[in-house]
Structure formats: C-alpha cells, structure tokens
Structure 1
Amino acid sequence: MTDDDPLAWETTNRQVAYECPGFDIVNEDVVLPDGTETDFDYLVDDPAVVLLAYTPDDDVVLVEEWRQAVKRVNRALPAGGVEGDEDLAVAARRELREETGYEAETVERFATYEPANGISNAVHHYFVARGCEPTAEQDLDFNESIRVVTEDYDDLLAAVRGGDIRDGRTALGVLQYELG
C-alpha cells in the first residue's frame, strides 16, 4: 500500500504535541479519502528489538520489571530501543547485555511486527539469541528497575498460553517462535 492508495489519508500539518523520555505524541491534521478534514494523534516510538535469549542449558533469560502503567512487576523477554541507524543485530546484543548482563554467541532475527499500528508507529524486531552467558554487568537506564531470571522454555510457553504472561511483546514473540 502506498500514499496513492485510495484508502490513504493526506497529512496537511504535523506537530509534536508532547515530548518525554522514550516517546513523543504527534498531532496531525489529515484529510480522509471522502474529503473530511480532522486530526489524528499517535505515539511515535523508536524501533525496538525483543530477544528470546537461550542459555547453553536452553533456559530462557527473562526480565522482571516494574511497569508503572499497570502497577505491577511484568515478566518479559528483554527488549529495548534501537539507537539511531544502529544495525538491528548490534542493537539486540547491546540491549541483552545492558538489561540482563548476558551476552550471546549468536543472534538471528525471526520476525518483525507493528504491535499497535492504530495508535503508534512502533516496530518491534524479534531475535533469537543462543549461547547466552552472564558475562557483563547490567547497565540500566535511570528509569529501569529490572531483576533477571531464567526459566525453562516449556514453562514460559505454558505461562503465555495460560495467560500468566500478559506482556504483549513477549506473548507475540514466544507464540511466533513456536509457530516457526
């Protein structure tokens, strides 16, 4: 689909309505295909990498992190933003190291998704990492509170299937990997 698609909206004005660490909210004036003029707000988020990281014993490296929006600790796959035009595999290795202290022998991309493209331009690139060992120190951002745990893959899959894992990035990545 391209901008000349009959479903495309025409953007006539764009402004950043709100900025904060991690994302912006953009407001655009648009013209709909039927000629209606309106506005549209959405979250602008940098591309991210998400890692299904296996130790040599085939356990999965997970993070437990406080999530203020839902007021609870979230168990999830390590994930983080891509910096500038950074190579995605380099970003995956960096985020794994920074969030968990683990470093991977190999990383390989297996999926790319737009997790909420009705309200955000976010793109998540999923990687499987193998041979992950705890060889570095965590290097967390000022607003990250992360505990690192490992879990048997089958237990993680059962937690996703059973609804115990509520993190969307994690559920999507594990289920896509399982289907692959």
Structure 2
Amino acid sequence: MRERPKIHATRLAQSSGFLRVEQVDLEFSNGQRRTYERLKGSGLGAVIIVPMRDDDTVLLVREYGVGVDRYELGLPKGRLDQDETVEQGANRELKEEIGFGARHLRILTTLSLSPAYMTSMTHVVLAQELYPERLQGDEPEELEVVPWKLSELHTLLQHEEVSEGRSIAALFIAREYLSGRYRPGA
C-alpha cells in the first residue's frame, strides 16, 4: 500500500454559507508536490436514512433539488446537529421529512460523495419498526412520501426522477444487509 501524501499546509480559498473551498499543499512519497482544492463541509456530517415500512417496502421522498432544478425521488437525509448522535439525527430527520420515527436504527456504513475533492461524509442508517410522529423541519414545502418495494429496486433505477448517488447506494446497501449478504464491519 502506498504512503499517503504529506500535507504541508491548508488555507481557506473561498467561502459560502454552505461550503468552503480549501487549498491543500501535498507532498507525495516520490517527492512530487501539488496543491489540490477540496470542498470542506461546514457541518458535523450527515445522515441518509433507509426507512422500512415492512420487510420489503422502503419510504422514499420526492423533494426539489436546486442543483438539478427538478424534483428528485430519494431517501430522507440531512445534516447532523451539534451534540447529536448519528442515530438521534437519523430519527429527527425521519420525523421531520416523512412523519415517522423508528424504534430500531442501525448504522450500515459511511459514504463519501466524492473523496477526490470533498471532506463530507454521510452515514447510511437503516430504520425499522416505524411509528407515526412528526416534527417541524426546515423544508419549504411538505415532502411527498412514496413507498417502493426493495424487490423492485431495478425499476427505480429507470425512474426519471432518480439520479442521487447516495440514495441509490444506500438502497443497495440496505437491500444486501436485509438479505444477509452484507454485514457491516465483517
């Protein structure tokens, strides 16, 4: 395995209320030096939740995505708040976005959206034994909840409103976990 590059310096290049661009001066084990830029998230991480209504039915949400300027069908997700565990954040986001809490939450893995230039990480959380409970969220409009069968995941991939990589990955990870083919940490 190659030795990781040595960071010589980091500095803020640009900023926004959401992300900061950071420059990173690196030296690789062969002596080559480069300056890379990466997006540094301003939060404490994020969660994406796979809420299971029953053994085969996942609850998706239809939500406007300004980045692609259209409605997108995907999983509930959000940033973690200060002093909040991953499980607490997942349960809060469920209550805010789909009007359900979960009695059983399991962290399946952690995903990077783009490790080449982003520092943010998203925890994939499986939510089971759902119960009705709604919290006020920060969404500008109520999100539409759309049930989908995990056994029909292949048809979801063909849906014109489905392109968000974290949701697609999390659904496959959850399906493999529920089938017994994937064990976190194994």
Q: Same fold (TM over 0.5)?
A: yes
Q: Does the 8 Å contact 2:47/2:78 carry over to 1?
A: yes
Which of structure 1's runs of 4+ aligned residues deviate more than 4 A?
Answer: none
Per-residue deviation, residues 127-149 of structure 1 (Å, max 9, x unmatched): 111232342144115xx555231
Residue 167 of structure 1: aligned partner: 164
Give the drift of 1:152: 2.7
1:43 maps to 39
Moved more, 36-45 or 154-163: 154-163
Deviation track 1:90-137 (CA, whole Å, cap 9, x = no partner) reads: 111112122233212221112222231111122221111123234214
Report the identity percentage: 21
Q: Which amino acid aligns with 1:139?
A: G
Distance (Å, rounded) in 2 between the aligned partners of 1:34 and 1:78: 44
Judge conservation of contact 1:78–1:100 (CA < 8 Å) in 2.
yes
Query: Counterpart amino acid of 2:138?
Result: L
Query: What secondary structure sits across from 2:59 in the alignment?
Result: strand
Structure 2 gaps of 5+ residues are: 178-186
Corresponding residue of 1:132: 130
Question: Of 12, 16, 28, which residue of structure 1 is paired with 2:12?
Answer: 16
8 A contact 2:56–2:149 mirrored in 1 = yes
1:117 match: secondary structure: coil
3-state SS of 1:171 partner? helix
Residues 81, 21 of structure 1: alpha-carbon distance in 2 compared, 3 angstrom cutoff: same
Q: Any conservation in 2 of the 1:51–1:126 contact (CA below 8 Å)?
A: yes
Taking the aligned partners of 1:150 and 1:48, their CA distance within structure 2 comes to: 22
1:13-41 alpha-carbon deviations (Å, 9 max, x no partner): 11122222332221112222222332111
For the aligned residues, what is the CA RMSD? 2.4
Evaluate the alpha carbon distance shift between residue 179 and residue 99 of structure 1 in structure 2; reply closer, same or farther with a 3 A threshold. same
Partners in 2 of 1:166 and 1:44 — Cα distance?
Answer: 23
Structure 1 unaligned spans of 5+: none
Q: 1:86 aligns with which of 84, 105, 118?
A: 84
Q: Distance in 2 between matches of 1:53 and 1:15?
A: 39
| Greater alpha carbon shift after TM alignment, 30-39 vs 168-177 | 30-39
What's the secondary structure of 1:174's corresponding residue? helix
TM-score, normalized by length of structure 2?
0.80
Distance in 1 (CA, whole Å) between partners of 2:55 and 2:158 is: 24
Matches within 5 A, 1:68-79: 68-79=66-77
1:56·1:133 contact (CA, 8 Å) conserved in 2? Answer: no
2:25 matched residue in structure 1: 29
The alignment's TM-score, normalised by the length of structure 1, stands at 0.82
Q: Matched residue of 1:131: which SS? A: strand
Kept in 2, the 8 Å contact 1:63–1:146? The answer is no
Deviates more, 1:68-77 or 1:33-42: 33-42
Structure 2 distance, partners of 1:154, 1:56, is: 10
